[in-house]
Structure 1
Amino acid sequence: MSRSLRRGALAATAVVFSIASLAACGAGNHAETLQIKPDNAAATKGDIKVQNALVITQGEKGTKGPAAVSATVFNGGTEPQTLDSVTLAGGKAKVVLKAAEGSGKVTVPAGGSVVLGGQGNASAQVDGAEALVDGNVQTVVFQLSRTGAVELDAFVVPAKGMYAGFGPTAAPGAPSGSPSATPSGSPSGSPAGGASGSPSGSPSGNAGAKPSGSASHAAGH
């Protein structure tokens, strides 16, 4: 090999090593500064594909209340399937499924999909979610009527940012909704009706009707 070829090979090797060193630094202790986030969990079994699966807890740290399983379930088959249950492996948490409309089962149409979580969609509420820790991975099992169990590992995240609209709705939604319902319903309906109905109706009816009735009766006599 000639000297010029040797020099070119050495230069190329130096460039490769420098790139490798930079990559190693990026993947070191400060890799979090790159803000690279892993894809949400997905799994496929037969005609069913479960995508973007997450377990979403309460938005504020230390807030007690249910969690929610959010996911999109696709059915690539020619027959509809029902989502019979969603369970969290290794825990005692109970997941309550609710269809988007009515009280029937959550149905995944043939060639279509169903979304769990979010306004107007089906929901999977996790009761007894105290053991869930944000940042951990939780095994979730989706039980379909035809395909059977589809299992995957989903990240546990708080209902903040992009996940806020897909999180649990029973709390803290209930506490914030209940105080506002009582003050706004009670004071605005009760006092307004009581003040304008009782005082203005009572004096004007009694004071005006009695004297006028007595005077005309006396005049007749």
Structure 2
Amino acid sequence: MPHPRRFRHALAAALIAALPVAALSGCAAGNSAETLKIKPDTPATTLGALKIQNVVLLTGPLGAAGPLTVTGSIYNGGGAPDQLERISVNELPVPAVITPAPNHPELRVLPTQTLQIGGPGNTTALVANAADLVRAGDSRRVTFRFAREGEVTLWVPVLPANGYYVGYGPLSA
């Protein structure tokens, strides 16, 4: 039978040798690992220095008529501010009425800042009487117009304000 002290020393040496292997094995995939390339399933696009992400049109609960809400985020990765001038759902006759957030009174997107549209305490974009023309499950073209970068259009899903989007839809705006 081996001596207990010798056994503990051998066990400690084995554990010390195994620690770097476990720590370094996570680096084997490198910086181009597939897990680093995860992309959201919501529409996103780039317009110059602006990144428009996670854009969704929200109706009220299923079967409810009324307004339509635009949600999403706009990130400015450039060095100059830009002004959000207009959001329009291309098939609808009137653009969204954009109301600035209480703590963000202008619709400017400052450098390295994000303008969040939709949700509690954020800027809102509401298209009145549109939910009877646009149904959950549809896709619509939405155009964002900025003073500096211009316009960009992307296809956006129409979803009911249920589940994850409770609090983001037109009834909570």
**TM-score, normalized by length of structure 1?**
0.57
What is aligned with 1:80?
81
C-alpha distance in 2 between matches for 1:93 and 1:59: 22
Residue 166 (structure 2) pairs with residue 158 (structure 1)? no
Query: Map of 1:59-98 to 2, 5 A cutoff?
Result: 59-61=61-63, 63-98=64-99
- Tell me by how many angstroms 1:169 deviates: 3.1
Amino acid of the structure 2 residue aligned with 1:158 = P
Greater percentage in strand: 2
Query: Map of 1:26-105 to 2, 5 A cutoff?
Result: 39-61=41-63, 63-101=64-102, 104-105=105-106
Residue 120 (structure 2) pairs with residue 119 (structure 1)? yes
If you compute each CA radius of gyration, which structure gives the higher value, 1 or 2? Answer: 1
- Give the number of the structure with larger relative contact order, counting CA–CA contacts within 8 Å between residues 6 or more apart: 2
Greater percentage in helix: 1
Q: Is the 8 A contact 1:69 1:125 kept in 2?
A: yes
- Tell me by how many angstroms 1:94 deviates: 3.2
Query: Map of 1:119-158 to 2, 5 A cutoff?
Result: 119-129=120-130, 130-158=132-160
C-alpha distance in 2 between matches for 1:160 and 1:49: 26
Q: Which runs of 5+ in 2 are unaligned?
A: 1-39
Q: How many residues are treated as equivalent by the alignment?
A: 133
Q: Deviations over 1:120-142 (max 9, x none)?
A: 10010111312101111110001
Q: CA RMSD in A?
A: 1.8
What is aligned with 1:211?
none
- In the TM superposition, structure 1's runs of 4+ consecutive aligned residues that sit over 4 Å from their partners are none
Amino acid of the structure 2 residue aligned with 1:50 = I
- Tell me the percent identity: 32
C-alpha distance in 2 between matches for 1:137 and 1:103: 29
